[in-house]
Structure 1
Amino acid sequence: MKKWFAVMGDPIEHSKSPAMHNAWFREKSIDATYIPVHVSSESLESAVAGLKTLGASGWNVTIPHKTAIIPYLDELDELAEKMGAVNTVVRTKEGTLKGYNTDGVGFVRSLEEAVGKSHKDKPVLLIGAGGAARGIAFAMQQQGYENLTIANRTVANAQAIVDEMGTGQAISLTEAEATLADFGILVQMTSAGLATGNFSMPFSLDRLTKGAIVADIVYNPLMTPFLQAAEEKGATIVTGLGMFVHQGAIAFEYWLGESPNTNSMIAQLKAQLGGY
């Protein structure tokens, strides 16, 4: 029987996940399809039940459901449980739903693919404290990036992640802007800059140090306002495309036990998104 997969979120029209996974299915001659599903926060519980009832083999979870979906799953992978966020759901052979988080590992793979592994001693500023931020914070800590600071509009949310990690510090966006020169790596982890949203900035990058590494997890558009401003200040830019492809590849492996071609997919999507 043909397998089918999905991505749920709000908004969802910007997602390139269907194009990516369907291309991988074709490349590997897998009889499967992948569709986008718009799910509002009020409809999340019924959407999960519907996907399960209709026989989805698995799905991805994007903004704003990565933490909210957890009560509707049967079990969590150890890392997803630690992060408190899920971006991949697998329907097991027993028919239960198991949640994983591939965001963080996907981001670290993308970052190190772009700039190498020699920057782990640099102070890191993580901007945002949502589901993706939790995943990236824990994954960076796990991979040896120990000097982590999380900045968020609501400092208590950032502090909650710091407390769970057992290291790092939480600051406000205003404090982050004032101390920007202290950081060698910046990671923009909010939804600011999505092609479907307002092109907003969390704060000014006037104090950014030339040569700093600046990453954004938004991949559509490739060059967000945040990355454009950072490039103008002489930063090394890492777009969100690599993270997007790598987290998707890890999800693909969980679902089907096979590894897709990430290099060709990054090139294909870069061309579709205007290149950089």
Structure 2
Amino acid sequence: MLKKKTKYGLIGKNINYSFSKKFFNDKFIKENISDCSYENYDLKSIKEFGSVIKDKSIKGFNVTIPYKKEIIDFIDEIDPIAKNIGAINTLKINDRKIIKGYNTDYLGFISSIQHLIFDQKNALVLGTGGASKAIIYGLNSMGIKSTNVSRKKTRGTVRYEDLNEEIIKENRIIVNCTPIGTFPKIEESPKIPFEFLTSNHLCYDLIYNPEKTKFLKESEKMGATIVNGKKMLENQANESWKIWNS
């Protein structure tokens, strides 16, 4: 009798573009892991997760936009760091069918950026979603103070329209955590005053498709160091794999 494959997958919405499925299935082939597979679970609503989880051969998920916060209501346990961040990107299902949530995004981010940081002390984080929460946690872990930039003024945030030369000069790390500029809408970009960027700035975009977004292109024109989200994704995926096999 053939052994049933262990399944893993990605939960998200409109995720045909996703990196994760190819990354893991390539990994399984390369490392001769023949008893595992990885699929996309494109959910119109997080409520559909209840039917997905009925498949007893699934042992773990990655979670992406827009469900990193919503998924918390559907799990049994949460790792303390993920609870602190307030967002989940990894689920592990143990033999007792207990679903535990983790966040590996912040680890992927730190390992992809720390070699580029020298004396920067302040950062602007564009967006307020689940991804931004992990980035803020990662920045704080490296001793960098961060400020959220949002379309609406709320406590502790700055509006895009309020960004000026002084704020840009004070914050020499700028991280785009919004989906603005993702394929196919590659001509779009967060509205920041690029003209105030310098060669002392580090501009990071969590987007990896396209490899160089308009946000990164405009930043590069001003001499800023630029990084896309590909390495972060690879790093966080490897951290997820460690959790599933722990």
Alignment of 1:136-215 (within 5 A): 136-145=135-144, 147-156=145-154, 159=155, 169-178=156-165, 179-197=167-185, 199-203=187-191, 204-215=193-204
Pairwise mapping of residues 95-106 of structure 1 onto structure 2 (< 5 A)? 95-106=97-108
Q: Report what 1:269 is aligned to.
A: none
Query: Does the 8 A contact of 2:186 with 2:213 survive in 1?
Result: no
**1:38 alignment partner AA:** D
User: Among 185, 194, 210, which residue is 1:221 paired with?
Assistant: 210
Identity level (%): 30
TM-score (norm 2): 0.91
CA shift for structure 1 position 207: 1.3
2:63 is the alignment partner of 1:75 = no
1:92 maps to 94
CA gap of 1:177–1:7, structure 2 versus 1, over 3 A, is: farther
Structure-2 change in CA distance of 1:197 and 1:256 (3 Å): farther
Equivalences, count: 239
For residues 1-43 of structure 1, give each alpha carbon's deviation from its aligned partner in whole angstroms, at most 9, with x where no partner exists: 3111111212201101111011112222222111112112xx3
Following superposition, the deviation at residue 140 of structure 1 comes to: 1.6
- Pick closer, same or farther for the CA change 1:237–1:193 going to 2, 3 Å: same
Aligned mates of 2:184, 2:15 — CA distance in 1: 9
Query: In 2, distance between residues paired with 1:98 and 1:45?
Result: 18
From the superposition, tell whether residues 108 and 155 of structure 1 become closer, same or farther in structure 2 (CA, over 3 Å).
Answer: farther
TM-score by length of 1: 0.82
Is the Cα–Cα contact under 8 Å of residues 105 and 136 in structure 1 kept in the other structure? Answer: no
Asked whether the 8 Å contact 2:186–2:210 carries over to 1, the reply is no
d(CA) in 2 for partners of 1:118, 1:206: 23
SS in 2 for 1:64: coil
Equivalent residue, structure 2, for 1:52: 53
Alignment match of 1:15 (pick from 14, 18, 25): 18
Contact 1:17–1:248, Cα closer than 8 Å, also in 2: yes
Q: Secondary structure at the match of 1:155?
A: coil
Structure 2 CA distance for aligned equivalents of residues 189 and 196 of structure 1: 17
Question: In structure 1, how many angstroms separate the alpha carbons of the residues matched to 2:92 and 2:30?
Answer: 22
CA contact (8 A) 2:68 2:130 kept: yes
Q: Which has the higher helix share?
A: 1
* Distance 1:103-1:177 versus aligned 2 partners, 3 A rule: farther
Which stretch has the larger CA shift, 125-134 or 204-213?
204-213
DSSP 3-state at the match of 1:215 = strand
2:9 pairs, out of 6, 18, 31, with 6
One-letter identity of the residue aligned with 1:111:
I
- CA 1:90/1:196 → structure 2, altered by over 3 Å: closer, same or farther? farther
Provide closer, same or farther for how the CA distance between residues 53 and 177 of structure 1 changes in structure 2, counting only shifts above 3 A. Answer: farther
Cα pair 2:186 2:214 within 8 Å, conserved = no
Deviations 1:90-130 (A, max 9, x none): 102211111111111211111124x1x534x4321111110
Q: Which moved more, 1:52-61 or 1:192-201?
A: 192-201
Structure 1 residues not aligned, in runs of 5+: 160-168, 258-276
What letter is aligned with 1:103? D
The Cα of 1:170 is off from its aligned counterpart by: 2.2
